Amino acid sequence: MTDPYFYVQAKVGITKHPGGWRATRELAKLCQIDANKRVLVVGCGTGISAAKLAKEFGCKVVGVDISPEMVKAASREIKKPGLEFKVGDAQALPFKDNSFDAVISESVTAFPPDKQKAVGEYARVVKPNGFVGLNETTWLLTPSKELVDYALNAMGGARPEREEGWRRLLENAGLKVVFAEQRKIRAVEQAIGEMQLSGFTRSMKAGYNFFKHYLTEKEFRQSAHALAKRAMRLPKGFLKQLGFGIYVGKKLK
């Protein structure tokens, strides 16, 4: 069975990332996205960020995700011109070299077994003078083994980096780091950002989907209970030490 962390999100029809729409919009501006650009969103999930980018910036967007369930949900719910979704692995993107003006990945690159290979793929498919933008979970302090293990088990296999780790991944892929800044996750700002990204209607639908699946599907209930148990085992200091960061690299040639 798919890890409960991803299974529940796919069934509910909503995915989240640190900073919500404010972070996505900032990342898009740093990557100089406009109506003339073709953008790849890696780890598009249910397609919410991809659709929002296409609407707000007028760009053409391709969303790719390793989960067929996520892609199915995105394709079913979001049907707009200039927007498409495909199944694909961040470590082996199904696109030719120099295919996109910008590549964006939010709360995704912490998951692949080989993060450097994934970032190398982002650099491969972006055009010269194009940008790779990451919005990624970031350890604000050097974490203990307990915190690392909890993130790995509770967040579907996530392995966050310190800021210098994310910078190094971009640099090792041949990109010039043009922006790097880590942030704290603040509960109120996060809630507002998520609502701005998803919209009221989709957020309400996600709540409806949760209760519908919980009441009718045994596998969904088991997954929801597993997530609840993980949350109850939250180590002391975890929320203070885990933030996020905005990191942008430029492909010079």
Inter-residue contact 220 to 147 (CB < 8 Å): no
242-250 and 38-42 as β-strands: parallel, antiparallel, unpaired? Answer: unpaired
What is the domain extent for residue 93? 15-142+159-188+241-250
233 domain residue, yes or no: no
CA 51, CA 60: separation in Å to the nearest integer? 10
45 domain residue, yes or no: yes
Q: Collapsing DSSP states into helix, strand and coil, what is residue 72?
A: helix
198 domain residue, yes or no: no
User: pLDDT by residue (tens digit) across 224-246?
Assistant: 777 777 777 777 777 788 899 99
Question: Cα dist. 187→136, 152, 184, 227 in Å?
Answer: 17, 22, 10, 19
Report the pLDDT value the prediction gives residue 158, as an integer from 0 to 100.
85
**What is the pLDDT averaged over residues 64-85?**
84
205 domain residue, yes or no: no
User: pLDDT by residue (tens digit) across 163-215?
Assistant: 999 999 999 999 999 999 999 987 767 666 676 666 666 667 777 778 787 88
When divided into structural domains, the chain yields a total of: 1
User: pLDDT by residue (tens digit) across 130-170?
Assistant: 999 999 999 999 888 888 888 877 777 889 999 999 999 99
Q: What does the mean pLDDT of the chain come to?
A: 87
Share of the chain above pLDDT 70, in %: 90
26 domain residue, yes or no: yes
CATH number at residue 179: 3.40.50.150
Is residue 53 over pLDDT 90? yes
pTM metric for this prediction: 0.86
Report the pLDDT value the prediction gives residue 190, as an integer from 0 to 100.
65
219 domain residue, yes or no: no
Is residue 5 over pLDDT 60? yes
148 domain residue, yes or no: no
9 domain residue, yes or no: no
Is residue 8 over pLDDT 80? no
